[in-house]
Structure 1
Amino acid sequence: MSKAQLTAFVAKVEADPALKALVVAALSPQDVVEIAHARGNTFTAATWSRHLRG
């Protein structure tokens, strides 16, 4: 579930410049998790970190 939620959130980020700016300005993976959660997506900080590492 977390991977699907991450994929959906990344699609939202790519489609919304304001959301992308929020994610870029986030100070930690947990900040990104909270931004995503507020928009209906749930994944962990570890999942986000793995995504960044590719």
Structure 2
Amino acid sequence: MSKAQLSAFLTEVEADAALRQRVETAANASAVAAIALERGHVFSAATLSRHQRG
């Protein structure tokens, strides 16, 4: 489920310039996960890190 949540959040990030700016300036993966949670998407910093590594 967290992968689906991450995917949905990343789709929102692509479509929203202000959100993209917040994500790009976030201090770390935990900060990005917190931004996602504000928007109703639940995934861990570890899930995001695994996604970034490929």
TM-score of the two chains, using structure 2 as the length reference: 0.96
Summarize the alignment of residues 1-54 of structure 1 with structure 2, pairs less than 5 Å apart: 1-54=1-54
Displacement of 1:11 in angstroms is 0.2
How far does residue 53 in structure 1 lie from its aligned partner after superposition? 1.1
- Percent of aligned pairs sharing the same letter: 56
Runs (4+) off by over 2 Å = none
**How many positions carry a matched residue from both structures?**
54
In structure 1, C-alpha distance between the alignment counterparts of 2:46 and 2:16, rounded to whole Å: 23
TM-score, length-scaled by structure 1:
0.96
Q: Give the Cα–Cα distance (whole angstroms) in 2 for the partners of residues 26 and 52 of structure 1.
A: 14
Unaligned runs of 5+ in 2: none
Gaps of 5+ in 1: none
CA deviation after TM superposition for structure 1 residue 52, in Å: 1.1
Secondary structure in 2 aligned to 1:13? helix
Q: What are the Cα deviations for residues 1-54 of structure 1, in whole angstroms up to 9, with x where unaligned?
A: 100000000000000010000000001100000000000000000001011112
Distance (whole Å) between structure 1 residues aligned to residue 14 and residue 20 of structure 2: 7
Whichever residue aligns with residue 36 of structure 1, its letter is: A
